[in-house]
Amino acid sequence: MLYIDTSVLVAYYCPESMSDQVEGILINADNPAVSQLTEIEIASAIARKIREHAFSKEDGYNILSLFQKHIDQKSFIYIPIQTKHYAIAKNWLTQFNTPLRSLDAIHLAIAYKKKIPILTADAKLASSAKILGIEAILVT
C-alpha cells in the first residue's frame, strides 16, 4: 500500500510537467490509498486552477467526476481519518522541528498509523516525513 498525497494526484489528473511520471507510478502502484482530506484538497486545487483561468468550470467538474469515479471503482483504497490522526498531527506540529503544515501533518499521520510510505511531490512534506521517521517517496 502507498498513501498518495494530493500533490501527486493533482499532477495525475491535471496536465503538469510531472504528469507522465506520476501516471507511470500510480498505474504500477500496489494498493494506492487516499483519504477524505485528499478529496477536499483536490477540490481546492481544481477550484484554484479555475479561479486562475487555467481550467474551465466544465474541466473542473470533469476532473472531480473522474476522481470520484476512481474512488467509487476502488481504484484507490479509501482510508478514513480518525481522531488519533489529529492527535498525532498536533503532537508533531508542537515539536517545532519540521516545516510541516497542518493538513500535511494529517496526511503523514495517516501514513504513519497505516505503516505505509507516502508518495508526494512536496519537498517540505518529504523532508518532514524523513525527520519523523516516515518513508516518503518524492516525485520531482
Check residue 48 and give its pLDDT.
Answer: 97
> Can you list the residues of the chain whose pLDDT is less than 50?
none
Residue 94, helix vs strand vs coil:
coil
Q: What is the pLDDT of residues 10-36, one digit of tens each?
A: 999 999 999 999 999 999 999 999 999
Give CA–CA dist 55/43, Å, rounded. 13
With beta carbons less than 8 A apart as the criterion, state whether 118 and 134 touch.
Answer: yes
How many other CB atoms are there within 10 angstroms of residue 3's CB atom? 29
CATH number of this structure's domain 2-138: 3.40.50.1010
